[in-house]
Structure 1
Amino acid sequence: MKNRQTRLAVGLAVASAVLVLVGTAAALSTEIRLSRSEGSIWALISFVIPIAAFSAVGGVIAVRRPGNPIGWLLAAIGLLFAIVVASAGISVWALETGSLPRAAAEWISVAPNAWVIALGLIGIQLPLRVPDGTLPSPRWRWFSRLSILLIAVSVVGMAVQPGEVEGVPGTANPLGVESLAWLPAVFFGVLLCFVVALVALVLRYLGADSRERVQLRWIAFGGVLFFVVYFVTLLLVEALGEGTAAADVLISISQAAFAALPISIGYAMLRHRLYDIDVVINRALVYGGLTLTLGAAYLGLVLVAGLAVGRSSDLAIAGSTLAVAALFRPARSRIQALVDRRFFRRRYDAALTLASFSGRLRDEIDLEHLGDDLRGVVQETVQPAHVSLWLRSHS
């Protein structure tokens, strides 16, 4: 049984890899043939990263925890995204080159609607079942079944939507049915299910034990990291303008950041360095804030110096760079203290307690008072169940 599950997990990963390679090759061939921008090519390549992450992490979890459906869900998501990439790339390539009969290419162009299933699994089934693979309670079973029904209806609705196939201009949907043009509106019900699934995840967290809470924090960290990168990218692309080289790079980064979700789920499920999550979140907040602070300082200094000594002056850029470099350590210390004070209060209080104890230690000469003080510091910072102090005699 174990060997069969291992072969199935490996088979799903290999199938995803083959589909991604074929679809990417076809899409790249079309992009180059049509002399598209480098940005669209890099965006296509960057989307391969999260697909590989879903497939690889799903395969590993399925092999290590075959009884937990989370691994199989991740592997299925990777396979579905691979189908999207492969079918989209092959259909456009076939229509542009005429390498396949047009009817066959048009039918293949409908397959990218599999993204609806993948998105439904990510937004509904994963939040309902992480980290142990079960629903929060039997009462959620009806909701899970309803969401699956809505996803299925949405896929059918998009498959039979009349008009041109999205992403393939000039190609009519061979499955289009005018009388069912309203059916894709069911997808709004799927979006509502996303919200309900997140509520279920919060309720699970509130009722979880300490280990499960740490697992859920890992998963939440991956999801929040992706959304932060995605929305910051949207704002920057809007400011820089679409089509610019910088905007293309940012779009590629935001797509690659989607891999943070399956990777964080893998950390949570396999429990590798599980309790490092607070350190990871702390570092992310500190260095994220530091990057924004130094970036804003650099832009401000360049603008001010440019107005003073000339817009294109290398001296203004060099001076701004040196100033930002000098700000790095004090800014990091300030931001670290702010993060500890606001979000990691226990660590901040412990640091203050130890600093205060170090100051008193220099002036204390009474061994009994020193022992009482030391036990109090240990009790306050570490909070053990019992504290004992052993002193070695001079003899």
Structure 2
Amino acid sequence: MGERIIGGGSTPGSTLRPERLHPVPARLKPVIAFVWYAALIGQVGGFWRYSVQLTQIEPQFAAFGMLYDAWPDGGIVIGPLDTAATRAGIPDQARLIAVNGKPVGAGVSEEAVARRLKLAGPRIVVTFDAVDGAVRKVGLQRRPPPDLAQRWAQSGSVLFTLLLFAPASLTLLVAVVLLRMRRKDDPVALLISLGFLFAVGGLFIPDRFYAWAGVDGLSSILLSLFLMCIMIAFPAFPDGRFRPRWGGWVALTAPLVALLTLLNSDATDLLGVLALLVAAIPPLIRYRRTPPGLDRQQLKWAAFGFVGGMLSMGVAAIAILVDMSGMFAGETAFTLSAIGAVGMACAFLFPPVGIIISLMRYRLWDADLAIGRSIGYASMTLLLAGIWAACMTLFNELLATSVGGSKPLIAAVSTIIAALVFGPARERINGWVDQRFQPGVLELKKVPHRLNLWQHGDLPEVLGGHIVGAVIDSLHARHAAVLIYDGNSYRTVGREGIDDVAIHNWTVTHLGTSSLAVDNIDRRDHVFPVRITLDDGDQPIGALLLGPRSDGSIYARPERTALQEIENPLAAALNSAGQHRRRADRVEAVIESLEKRVRDLETQLTLRAG
């Protein structure tokens, strides 16, 4: 009963395939705590090693014009810091053998060599083993302290690594903390948090710490464990049941695939990537089969994070492969290398964000907005970049003979064409994105036109019902109400998802205060956090009260903007409907008065006749 992470009921045709994930057994909690602290120690140790490298080691090597790195099987490899060091005789890559005659073997630490350099005089002699196998000696002069530009040249790559990968690493750790605090008994959340922990321990910052501690192979083991956890958790996302059922087979093969990836070959690396892609298929299928609602939004956020991560990893892989091909050099090669690094960092930044929002069920209805904006920005970027590059290529061929292929002129013409296309393209792309990913906001924007039709023949109660229904359907509001002011007090003319008693209790507490100010949002109010006053100058007409969305969140900016657009038309329509109601009441009163007089006359005639 709940003694395994994977297991459970089975179908008659399958006794091995699990149907669901079981609750977390208590005996695994100490193991989880150990993994958590180990990953945290790795992060702290990684930052410590980077700080040591930046402040104690690199400056001593740079003082003599050298860059350094750790040799894979022990020892230190050096290279030139600049062209002056190259002219002095330092090759692009060489194994350091001795400093001033003192050997630098595999057992000598980087700090020990840095201390030798710090205590050395104005001139040293380094002995190194060059790539061609020849042992050479080079004399180097101590340089004056570097300025800021020189300091960046020495340590820029390390600082770039820290600034680039630290956010992704910290995001993964934040995801782990939130999942452990809020969903500690959820097996899916447990496996994903463990996977994130293994990813944190196997990537980015801690590798320097592992190298210093002499456990270089630990990163590969942690990455294999990350793959195993994700292969088990994704097919059962988000409620722990494997849907479709073949996702259980994916979970069962996870340990074997993780063991194969430890071989560290190109084939096993490809196997790991394919395994991640296969593990992501069940949630996508489940998303397609799930009806609209919060469960579908959960899957959508998770899919957004995973797809964003995979696309980022794909861009990074392409950039790295092109850079390694040697087709480009100089600034282009540096740009490709930077794109690869940024893409790889984003590949581990998107998934935790999507998973956190999904499992925490926070602002689930904003998934469409986030996905739509991402697609819109990406489409505009690709379109403009493609047009500009095509124009550059075309005009370079056409104008080469007439103006000699003037690059400034070609670039200017290409930029002008791209700018002319920008406006219409943005309008079309944004229109498609809004229609595809924000249909609720578009429906709400149609309400002012519908109000022109509703206000002429409908009573306030009918109009209030129309408005409440439109808001609930468009904004996924948990509940909503429309109030009308009858000269002395507010009364409800439309409501959904909430009863009259709750509305009355809220109005007794809030009316007569600033709670009905225009654009008033009180996030602490769980009944009606959004309130819009409807008035005609100083004369109140009514109010539109909105509860939170069905996921408990407040409406996004596009939704609040759409609400503001219906404020004046709704006030006018409600005022017109109120006047129509008052006229109807007067007519009804006259009719009742006439009917009473007729009854009185009939009574008098009856008495006289008697």
TM-score, scaled to structure 2: 0.46
Match of 2:191 in 1: 73
Pick closer, same or farther for the CA change 1:63–1:36 going to 2, 3 Å: farther
Structure 2 residue aligned with 1:52: 170
1:143 aligns with 2:249: yes
Q: What one-letter code is carried by the residue in structure 2 that aligns with 1:127?
A: F
1:338 partner letter: W
Structure 2 CA distance for aligned equivalents of residues 40 and 120 of structure 1 = 32
Residue pair 1:52, 1:78 contacting (<8 A) in 2 also: no
- 2:303 is aligned to 220
Which residue of structure 2 aligns with residue 110 of structure 1?
Answer: 217
Relative to structure 1, is the Cα distance of residues 35 and 251 closer, same or farther in structure 2, using a 3 angstrom cutoff?
farther
2:280 aligned to which of 198, 208, 232: 198
Judging changes above 3 Å, is the alpha-carbon distance between structure 1 residues 305 and 334 closer, same or farther for their aligned structure 2 residues? same
The whole-number CA distance in structure 2 between the counterparts of 1:249 and 1:36 is 21
| Among candidates 355, 358, 368, match of residue 278 of structure 1 | 368
Residues 171-182 of structure 1 mapped to structure 2, 5 A cutoff: none
Alignment-derived partner of residue 121 in structure 1:
229
Q: Would the alpha carbon gap of residues 61 and 393 (structure 1) be closer, same or farther in structure 2, given more than 3 Å must change?
A: same
**1:89 corresponds to 2:89:** no
What does 1:161-172 align with in structure 2 at a 5 Å threshold? none
Q: Secondary structure at the match of 1:216?
A: helix
Q: Which residue number corresponds to residue 46 of structure 2?
A: 20
Matches within 5 A, 1:1-395: 11=37, 14-22=40-48, 31=69, 34-35=78-79, 44-45=161-162, 46-85=164-203, 88-89=207-208, 105=214, 108-114=215-221, 115-122=223-230, 124-132=231-239, 134-136=240-242, 143=249, 146-151=252-257, 153-154=259-260, 158=263, 194=276, 197-206=279-288, 208=290, 210-235=293-318, 241=327, 244-258=333-347, 259-306=349-396, 308=399, 309-341=403-435, 343-344=436-437, 346=439, 350=443, 357=449, 367-368=456-457, 391-393=577-579
Higher RCO, 1 vs 2 (CA within 8 Å, ≥6 residues apart): 1
State the distance in 2 between where 1:350 and 1:365 align: 16
The SS at the match of 1:393 is helix
Structure 1 residues 40 and 129: alpha-carbon distance in aligned structure 2, compared to 1, 3 A threshold: farther
Amino acid at match of 1:287: Y
What is the aligned-residue RMSD (CA, Å)?
4.9
What residue ranges of structure 1 are gaps of 5+ in the alignment? 95-103, 167-183
For the 8 Å contact 1:218–1:265, the answer to whether it is kept is: yes
> Greater strand share, 1 or 2?
2
- CA drift of 1:225 comes to 1.4
Judged with a 3 Å threshold, the aligned counterparts in structure 2 of structure 1 residues 69 and 19 are, in CA distance, closer, same or farther, namely: farther
2:219 partner letter: P
Question: Following the alignment from structure 2 to structure 1, what is the Cα–Cα distance between the partners of residues 251 and 313?
Answer: 30
- Residue 247 of structure 1, CA deviation: 0.3
- CA distance in 2 between counterparts of 1:294 and 1:370 reads 52
Contact 2:235 2:242 in 1 (8 A): yes
- Work out the CA distance in 2 between the residues paired with 1:185 and 1:234: 15
Count of matched residue positions in the alignment of Structure 1 and Structure 2: 351
CA radius of gyration, larger in: 2
* Inter-partner Cα distance in structure 1 for 2:408 and 2:49: 45
- Structure 1, residues 304-336: CA drift from partner, whole Å, max 9, x if none? 555534545434434543543454332211112
- Are the structure 2 counterparts of residues 144 and 300 from structure 1 closer, same or farther at C-alpha, using a change threshold of 3 Å? closer
Distance 1:9 1:272 in 2: 27
Structure 2 distance, partners of 1:276, 1:245, is: 36
Tell me, yes or no, if the aligned pair for 1:87 and 1:111 is still in contact at 8 Å: no
Structure 1 residues 200 and 310 mapped into 2: Cα distance closer, same or farther (>3 Å)?
same
Q: Structure 2 stretches of 5 or more lacking a match?
A: 1-25, 59-67, 71-76, 82-152, 481-492, 495-572, 583-610
Q: Which moved more, 1:265-274 or 1:41-50?
A: 41-50
CA shift, 1:197, in A, is 3.1
**Cα separation, partners in 2 of 1:370 and 1:392, compared to 1, 3 Å:** closer
1:267 and 1:335 map into 2 onto residues whose CA distance is 27
Cα drift, residue 373 of structure 1: 11
Secondary structure at the aligned position of 1:331 is classed as: helix
Match of 1:15, as an amino acid? I
How many percent identity over aligned positions?
21
Shift of 1:345: 8.5
Render the CA deviation track for 1:363-392: whole Å, top value 9, x for unaligned: x89933999999999978975899978611
